[in-house]
């Protein structure tokens, strides 16, 4: 009997000691509440190299790192995320959107550190707005909040880019930012005037239409005509004036290209009396083509020729009469001179 009492007393003392140390002997899990603080990670998406409004949606997947998490389990975590761009106006060539990745409702089985990987997996128009290949590792810490074994989960607001090393192993946390440069292009138009009557200082009218996205505008640069338009609106015809030796660029502002790859454009030229027109080495006054990624393929060359034959036949047909007239004139001068001497 005494021995049994001693055993019971020992068990009670061990229980008191465990409670005093704040050790959780249960297998209780913790779920992040919808109103909890530190439950979100801001995810930012940048699109660089743009001057027009951006319309696109980027998609992401989120997966737990089971190797890092070990025996600890996590359920009800967010598996996908979308960052939509709807008529987003760029600033200094970059359009930006930020969406919070929310871990509310996620359940963690035990105290410890958890890791998730987020990567970009889709882009509505990947040809124009390519995906970013970067991967970020996100961390959630679950710790005891009190001596009663209450667990609290805290989501780190930054991640570690392209590295599985956590902070304890040389990893550096940074803001989660995905970025890619828009794939756009531009067109160029050059003018050459040929022929012995071709006026090298004459301006020729060239109507241009570029059909890109609705609402876009494309910068016009080059040439010497002062009243040329400074921009061309998508789907609207604009007329530029250009003379011999000049090249005009449409769809490029500084180093930023503006025309979507695959957009159609038409270049024509208003007829000029006495001049023949060749666009891209063909005897035509207009050309329609599709823009591509290589700017050299988007060059339109316009050649105007005005030629007149030299009237050599007429000159030689009257040559005998000119010689005869000069001979008669010379003879008259000699006679007149002789008469003066006799006097």
pLDDT in tens, the chain (343 residues): 555 555 555 555 444 433 333 333 344 789 999 888 889 999 999 999 999 999 999 999 999 999 999 999 999 999 999 999 999 999 999 999 999 999 999 999 999 999 999 999 999 999 999 999 999 999 999 999 888 888 999 999 999 999 988 888 888 999 999 999 999 999 999 999 999 999 999 999 999 999 999 999 999 999 999 999 999 999 999 999 999 999 999 999 999 999 998 899 999 999 999 999 999 887 777 777 777 777 777 889 999 999 998 766 555 556 677 777 777 777 777 766 666 655 5
Q: Which helix (H) or strand (E) holds 15?
A: helix 2-21
CA 113 from centroid of its chain's CA atoms: 38
Question: Cα(213)–Cα(263) distance, rounded to whole angstroms?
Answer: 8
- DSSP code per residue over 249-316: EESEETTEE-EETT-EEEEE----TT-EEEETTBS-SEEEEE--S-GGGGEEEEEEE------HHHHH
Fold match, 26-181 / 184-305 = yes
State the residue for tokens 């913790």: 30
Q: Which fold is adopted by the domain 184-305?
A: Immunoglobulin-like (2.60.40)
Contacts of 298 (CB under 8 A, 6+ apart): 185, 186, 187, 188, 265, 289, 291, 292
Q: In the structure encoding, which two tokens stand for residue 32, read together?
A: 């992040």
Question: Cα(172)–Cα(222) distance, rounded to whole angstroms?
Answer: 47
Residue 162 has phi, psi (to 5 degrees) of 55, 30
Q: In the structure encoding, which two tokens stand for residue 294, read together?
A: 């290589």
Count how many Cα atoms sit within 13 Å of the Cα of residue 53 in the half-sphere of its side chain.
12
CATH architecture of 26-181: Sandwich (2.60)
Q: Are 155 and 104 in contact (CB under 8 A)?
A: no
State the residue for tokens 């509310």: 104
**Per-residue buried b or exposed e for 57-89, using 16+ beta carbons within 10 Å of the residue's own CB:** bbebebebbeebbeebebeebbeebebebeebe
Query: What pLDDT score was predicted for residue 313?
Result: 56
Q: Which region holds residue 329: left if phi is over 0, alpha if psi is between -120 and 50, else beta?
A: alpha
Domain ranges of the chain: 26-181, 184-305
Q: In the structure encoding, which two tokens stand for residue 201, read together?
A: 């200082």
Q: C-alpha distances in angstroms, 299 versus 15, 189, 249?
A: 84, 6, 9
Query: What pLDDT score was predicted for residue 312?
Result: 62
Contacts of 207 (CB under 8 A, 6+ apart): 237, 238, 239, 266, 267, 268, 269, 270
Count how many Cα atoms sit within 13 Å of the Cα of residue 246 in the half-sphere of its side chain.
18
Helix/strand number for the chain, H first, E second: 3, 26
């Amino acid at each position: 009997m005494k021995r049994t009492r001693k055993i019971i007393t020992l068990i009670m003392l061990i229980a008191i000691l465990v409670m005093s140390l704040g050790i959780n002997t249960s297998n209780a899990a913790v779920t992040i509440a919808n109103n909890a603080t530190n439950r979100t990670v801001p995810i930012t998406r940048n699109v660089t190299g743009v001057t027009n409004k951006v319309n696109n949606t980027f998609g992401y997947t989120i997966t737990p790192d089971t190797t890092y998490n070990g025996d600890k389990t996590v359920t009800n975590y967010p598996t996908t995320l979308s960052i939509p761009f709807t008529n987003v106006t760029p600033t200094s060539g970059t359009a930006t959107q930020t969406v919070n990745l929310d871990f509310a409702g996620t359940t963690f089985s035990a105290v410890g550190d958890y890791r998730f990987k987020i990567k970009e997996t889709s882009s509505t128009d990947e040809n124009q707005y390519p995906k970013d290949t970067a991967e970020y590792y996100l961390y959630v810490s679950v710790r005891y909040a009190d001596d009663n074994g209450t667990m609290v989960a805290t989501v780190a607001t930054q991640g570690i880019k392209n590295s599985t090393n956590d902070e304890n192993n040389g990893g550096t946390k940074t803001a989660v930012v995905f970025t890619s440069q828009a794939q756009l292009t531009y067109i160029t138009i050059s003018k050459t005037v040929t022929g012995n009557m071709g006026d090298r200082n004459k301006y020729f009218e060239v109507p241009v239409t570029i059909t890109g996205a609705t609402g876009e505008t494309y910068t016009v640069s080059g040439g010497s005509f002062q009243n040329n338009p400074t921009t061309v609106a998508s789907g609207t015809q604009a007329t530029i004036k250009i003379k011999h030796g000049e090249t005009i660029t449409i769809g490029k502002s500084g180093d930023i290209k503006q025309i979507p790859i695959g957009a159609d454009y038409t270049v024509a030229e208003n007829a000029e009396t006495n001049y023949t027109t060749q666009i891209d080495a063909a005897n035509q006054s207009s050309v329609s083509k599709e823009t591509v990624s290589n700017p050299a393929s988007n060059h339109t060359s316009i050649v105007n020729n005005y030629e007149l034959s030299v009237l050599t036949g007429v000159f030689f047909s009257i040559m005998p009469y000119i010689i005869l007239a000069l001979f008669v004139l010379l003879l008259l001068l000699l006679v007149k001179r002789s008469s003066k001497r006799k006097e």
